[in-house]
Structure 1
Amino acid sequence: MERIEDILEESIIAIIPIYDKGNGTNIITMENSHIEYKRVRTVLRRICNEYALHLSAFRRRYGKVINKRLGIPIVINEELILVPFKTRKPKFQNDGAYGYVNFHFVKDIVEDGRHTKLIMENGHEIQVLQRIHSVKRDFNNVKLILNENTKKNPMSYEFGQVATVDHIGRLYMEIMELKRMIKEMK
């Protein structure tokens, strides 16, 4: 397998299971396409390991937020949010059916009969074996997870965003608590 850190530098837009000389994975980036002769699950684990993240912990934590056990989006960082979609019918028992699409690189969602087509920022089209309402629901789940993430970690806001009265109030309380702690230390 190519060094995963090299692939991550290219901005991953999708991780799709394929049959090419056996069961493999197509990692689609903005610039290239990388064929790996590993299962999608293995590729995901390697990506998570690169960021020191635990895949099962993601699924447990965010599954509770969206009230699902399977098909949980994986938030690696702000630029890499992977949403699972059924992209093929497996031929054999342990072949995965689900691929992952980076939430930020989906340009358009198009109904394609009983299925859906995702148009990516680089022009790549990904056939999803799900109805359009199911795909849109999965994208809304990402928004719920991101909203929950910012609630649990208010410091995850980017600089330059508008601060609400609630944010300022929390900051004021934290500053006052720090001042109190400093006084006690003297």
Structure 2
Amino acid sequence: MQEGQLEKIVTELSALQPQYLKGTGKVTKVHLKSGKHLTIKCKPETVVTNIAGYLGTDLAALRKFCSHRLAAKNSLPLPMTPSLLLIPLRMIKPKFSNDRATGYVNLFSIEDLKEKKNGAIITLVGGNEVLCRQKLKTVKIHLVYARLIYREWQSHYINPYVKEADNNLYNTAKLDLIRKIMNS
């Protein structure tokens, strides 16, 4: 993935949707807030790892932070920046064992949720729609968890001197501030 492409993804990301392409295998369809799509020849998990690397975020520390706050281990929301919080949702039917069918939706890009027979349809900013293979009730629970994590993360992100603030989150906040200063 190129640096310019990654920067565009970080600023305009609405969703990362896994797909299977004939002759290629698993790819990621990136939905942008403008309504456009990008197709990247890697898994959504790899795109999330690349985004975290670009932002200077320690994914292991972030997952640990979220895990302790929610008392859960799987399907943890990932707050990356104040405008990017990725919610993992099952989006496709796995074709083989040990295949992750997880995609990610940005909490701040969700406009509407609709129930469908075998899941839910998430309408994104820009008019894109993403099919989720989980029930609407489950998607709403994930949204509640994401909002809870965002509040907790935001208090640490904005005020890193709060007791129990993780050094990695503090360093992420510093790096984000430095990047904003250099870009202006």
Counterpart in the other structure of 1:29: 32
Counterpart in the other structure of 2:166: none
8 Å CA contact 1:15, 1:99 repeated in 2: yes
1:119 to 106, 116, 123: 123
CA distance in 1, matches of 2:95, 2:125: 30
Counterpart in the other structure of 2:16: 15
1:128 to 119, 125, 132: 132
C-alpha distance 153-8 of structure 1, shift in aligned 2 (>3 A) = closer
After TM superposition, where is structure 1 displaced by more than 4 Å over at least 4 residues in a row? none
Amino acid at match of 2:25: G
- Secondary structure of the corresponding residue to residue 110 of structure 1: strand
Structure 1 portions without partners, runs of 5+: 157-186
CA distance in 1, matches of 2:131, 2:151: 28
Higher relative contact order (CA 8 A, sep 6+): 2
8 Å CA contact 1:39, 1:96 repeated in 2: no
Structure 2 portions without partners, runs of 5+: 161-184
CA distance in 2, matches of 1:37, 1:94: 19
C-alpha distance 13-150 of structure 1, shift in aligned 2 (>3 A) = closer
CA distance in 2, matches of 1:153, 1:5: 21
Q: How many residues align?
A: 155
Give the structure-1-normalised TM-score: 0.77
Choose 1 or 2 for highest CA Rg. Answer: 1
- Secondary structure of the corresponding residue to residue 57 of structure 2: coil
Give the structure-2-normalised TM-score: 0.78
Aligned-CA RMSD value: 1.7
User: Structure 1 vs Structure 2: percent identity of aligned residues?
Assistant: 25
8 Å CA contact 2:85, 2:150 repeated in 1: no
Amino acid at match of 2:9: I
1:57 to 42, 54, 61: 61
Amino acid at match of 1:14: A
Shift of 1:94: 4.7
8 Å CA contact 2:18, 2:101 repeated in 1: yes
Counterpart in the other structure of 1:67: 71
